């Protein structure tokens, strides 16, 4: 190894990436991570040294700059970069960590989807129980009144009276079922724990990164550099935030502006954290706004109209609020506010990223 080769190797020695220096067909030097992966003696043929790693010898013949998969399952990426007229730097990147991270992200997405569906079913059951309990109670009262009238006017109509008794019994049974559904759904209370609302925003955006990239939506973030501590159930609050983000994506998809935008800001004042999710979509009519948080009211062709109703219910379970305003530049803006833990500052330093 000449002086220049030794200097090159010394410059690369502290890097964690597996690196080797080639001079034509010969191996000149390799750093510690590369030697741990492929032990070899400088001076020999690079192809012979690379042979134990499946596909690496072929990668040495690929054009400079081209990324080539190697390893039994393609877990490494090899790339050659020219250092000077003679020397080539071989980089060998271990993709297993990246693939592991990607798999964890996919598992997190699947877990959130499963939990969100469970929470949605629970809240849907609560909404349905509330909405159905009133007409069922009214029906039972009407049947009882009808039976009293019939008993006074036609006391001998035994069959009709018995039929009304059965009808009242069936309605009462339905009411009991509704009551049990409400008891079950109301038992799902938030899991109280300390959370960082800023981190929760970033985690939620990471779970929707594919959707944002696919729709080519520009993000504008106005978030405190320091965390904003709140208390609550991370899954429930994340469900609210992701629901608001998906609603914004749907609005931009249905009536796409020239520069689709979602802006998210978080401000702390008066002991409360207020998160805003806005979009520059088409907005909504005053008639739609009046029914925005009512159950079974939806502007989507296949929507059930339960999303925002459930989100408001979840926020109220956290002693928070959820409301809507019109965005000044056009479009919609949804806000939710939560109490901030006492240790939080009321004068956050903001960062602006686009």
Q: Which domain holds residue 59?
A: 3-94
Hey, what are 140's tokens?
């039972």
Based on the fold, state whether residues 204 and 304 are members of the same structural domain. Answer: yes
Task: Give the model's pLDDT for residue 213.
Answer: 86
Q: Which of 232, 241, 239 is nearest to 196 (CA)?
A: 232
Same domain, 46 and 58: yes
Provide the CATH number for the domain around residue 44: 3.30.450.20
Residues 162 and 205 in one domain: no
Please tell me whether residues 201 and 261 are part of one structural domain.
yes
Q: Of residues 14 and 65, which shows the higher confidence score?
A: 65
Task: Verify that 159 and 228 share a domain, yes or no.
Answer: no
Rounded distance, CA 230 to CA 307, Å? 23
Shared domain for 111 and 154, answered yes or no, is yes
Same-domain status, 177 and 224: no
Same domain, 105 and 43: no
Same domain, 161 and 308: no
CATH number at residue 293: 3.30.565.10
Residue 206 CA, distance from chain mean position = 6
Phi, psi at 137, each rounded to 5°: -65, -40
Structure-token pair, residue 182: 């409400």
Are both 220 and 297 inside the same structural domain?
yes
Q: How many Cβ atoms sit within 10 Å of the Cβ of residue 219?
A: 14
Residues 66 and 134 in one domain: no
Q: How many domains does the chain have?
A: 3
- What is the predicted pLDDT for the residue at 350? 38
CA gap 17, 164 in Å, rounded: 82
- pLDDT tens sequence across 181-240: 565 555 556 678 899 999 999 988 887 887 888 889 999 999 998 899 999 888 788 888
Distance between CA atoms of residues 254 and 231, nearest Å: 35
**Structure confidence at residue 165 (pLDDT):** 82
Mean pLDDT calculated for residue range 173-184:
65
Q: What CA–CA distance (Å, rounded) separates 325 from 335?
A: 8
Beta strands (DSSP E) in the chain are: 18-23, 26-30, 68-70, 76-82, 87-94, 193-196, 218-224, 229-232, 261-269, 272-279, 321-326, 332-339, 350-353
349 and 210, same domain (yes or no): yes
């Amino acid at each position: 190894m000449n002086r220049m080769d030794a200097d090159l190797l010394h410059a690369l020695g502290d890097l964690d990436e597996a690196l080797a220096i080639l001079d034509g067909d010969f191996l000149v030097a390799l750093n510690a991570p590369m030697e741990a992966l492929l032990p070899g003696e400088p001076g020999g043929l690079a192809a012979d040294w690379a042979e134990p790693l499946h596909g690496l010898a072929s990668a040495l013949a690929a054009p400079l700059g081209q990324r080539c998969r190697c390893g039994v399952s393609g877990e490494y990426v090899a790339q050659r970069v020219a250092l000077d007229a003679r020397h080539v730097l071989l980089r060998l990147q271990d993709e297993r960590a990246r693939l592991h991270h990607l798999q964890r992200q996919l598992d997190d997405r699947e877990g959130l989807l499963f939990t969100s569906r469970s929470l949605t079913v629970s809240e849907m059951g609560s909404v349905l129980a509330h909405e159905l309990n009133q007409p069922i109670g009214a029906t039972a009262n009407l049947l009882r009144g009808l039976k009293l009238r019939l008993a006074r006017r036609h006391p001998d109509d035994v069959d009709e009276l018995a039929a009304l008794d059965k009808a009242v019994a069936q309605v009462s049974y339905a009411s009991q079922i509704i009551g049990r559904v409400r008891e079950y759904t109301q038992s799902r209370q938030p899991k109280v724990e300390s959370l960082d609302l800023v981190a929760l925003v970033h985690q939620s955006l990471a779970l929707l990164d594919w959707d944002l990239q696919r729709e080519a939506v520009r993000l504008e973030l106005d978030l405190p550099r320091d965390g904003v501590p709140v208390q609550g159930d991370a899954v429930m609050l994340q469900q609210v935030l992701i629901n608001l983000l998906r609603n914004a994506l749907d609005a931009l998809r249905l009536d796409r502006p020239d520069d689709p935008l979602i802006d998210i800001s978080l401000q702390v004042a008066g002991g409360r954290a207020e998160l805003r999710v806005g979009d520059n979509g088409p907005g909504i009519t005053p008639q739609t706004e009046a029914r925005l948080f009512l159950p079974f009211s939806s502007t989507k062709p296949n929507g059930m109209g339960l999303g925002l109703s459930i989100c408001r219910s979840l926020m109220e379970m956290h002693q928070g609020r959820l409301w809507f305003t019109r965005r000044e530049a056009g479009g919609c803006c949804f806000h939710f506010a939560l109490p901030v833990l006492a240790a939080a500052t009321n004068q956050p330093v903001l960062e602006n990223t686009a």
